[in-house]
Structure 1
Amino acid sequence: MNAFLKRVWIALAATLVVSLAAVILPNQVQIDGDGRVHLGAPVAEPSVSASAPVPEPEPTSPALTRDEVDEVIRTAVRAAGLDPEQGKSTAPAGPDLNRTGWTAVLEKAAAQSKVKAISADLERQGWVLNPHRDSADTSRSYKRGGWYLLVHARGTTRAPSNALGDSQTDLTMTGLQLNLSDVPLPEVTVRMR
């Protein structure tokens, strides 16, 4: 029985690792129709599901600095009819130049239209939509110049002293600079049965 449980735990761990890799590095993970998972270099003929959205290739653009991404955020917020000064930065100024963000409390009724307006302005500014696991109404992610920018509105409660009212939500833009192309991945093939 112990050998069986060991195999079950190993299979679960392998599934978890592959699932996390597929979320974090979607361009580096391919799954065949027969259940084989390929990590690293792309397979010669990957199978493509007709129903899955295909992300647009990112146009070649120069790397952006944190200050440039901050200006992109301010411009998109203004385009949505909001005042950037009414919100607050989610990443303090300092040595961490790989992340930035902005957040504000809005009425839930207005949040969906603000997310759409911010998204439209980001696309106008040349950001490419990354449709993987997005919700058209409350969450969108974009990429450009080595940065990933997530726009989302969630009715979650923050710290008890800053609890949101029933009709309020947080509108947040989070920017992360990730250069995953520099991370070497070994070529691994796992067969899932």
Structure 2
Amino acid sequence: MNALLKRVWIGLAATLVVSLAAVVMPDQVQIDDDGRVHLGAPAPTPSPSTVAPTPESTSPPLTRDEVDEVIRTAVSAAGLDPAQGRPIGATGANSNRTGWTAVREKTAAQSDMNTICADLERQGWTLNPNGDRPDPSARSYKRGGWYLLVSTRGKTQAPSTTSALTDSQTYLTLAGLQLNLSDIPVPLPEVTVRIG
């Protein structure tokens, strides 16, 4: 049973990382309807006029502890108890991943997500202009070298035979990732991964 739960959590973590990558770099990560993930774009012949991505940098860098506090504050603003959720990422201030997730009724999850997003904006986080596609179940924000993905995706991303969610539930998730996009080569080589 422990091995099964471990596989479920690993699958959810992988899905969150891929989803966050797709939001942060939409030109480099595409997710098909059948669950295939394409990393990178077919390598066109580089032209001399190719411009490197502009480094993000208007707000001072945030520490992992500061991002954890941002998440706790935003979750509390939605009337939820941060202690009732499950942390994402390894503990310790030096980790470049963090987050929070909890099971919520679908009827409440979207409202909770909207309140969390409003509080992130109040705290100075800006919508990621390169990441958001028209999708009401996920929004991404950036600030101080960190990217936050807020989503209400659940049942469809977990293996159907092992999900602990009922049909009326979903995961409300804030997934944070610290990225230095200037270290990522563009374009990425093309790689296809099958999830599920």
What TM-score does the superposition give when structure 2 sets the normalisation length?
0.63
Matching residue within 84, 89, 92 for 2:87: 89
Contact 1:76 1:122 in 2 (8 A): yes
Q: Output the CA distance in 1 between the equivalents of 2:103 and 2:65.
A: 23
Change (3 A) 1:165 1:143: same
Deviation at 1:180, TM superposition (A): 1.1
Change (3 A) 1:133 1:166: same
Question: RMSD across aligned C-alpha pairs, in angstroms?
Answer: 3.3
Matches within 5 A, 1:44-83: 60-83=58-81
Contact 2:63 2:93 in 1 (8 A): no
Q: Output the CA distance in 2 between the equivalents of 1:114 and 1:21.
A: 25
Contact 1:134 1:141 in 2 (8 A): no
Match of 2:141 in 1: 142
Deviation at 1:91, TM superposition (A): 1.0
What TM-score does the superposition give when structure 1 sets the normalisation length?
0.64
Match of 1:114 in 2: 112
User: Is residue 177 from structure 1 mapped to residue 167 from structure 2 by the alignment?
Assistant: no
Contact 1:149 1:175 in 2 (8 A): yes
Number of equivalent positions:
145
Match of 1:41 in 2: 51
Deviation at 1:182, TM superposition (A): 3.8
Unaligned runs of 5+ in 1: 1-19, 25-34, 44-56, 187-193
Change (3 A) 1:134 1:113: farther
Q: Output the CA distance in 1 between the equivalents of 2:178 and 2:141.
A: 12
Q: Output the CA distance in 2 between the equivalents of 1:149 and 1:76.
A: 12
Unaligned runs of 5+ in 2: 1-24, 30-43, 188-196
Which structure carries more relative contact order (alpha carbon 8 Å, separation 6+)?
Answer: 2
Q: Output the CA distance in 1 between the equivalents of 2:168 and 2:26.
A: 37
Which protein has the larger Cα radius of gyration, Structure 1 or Structure 2? 1
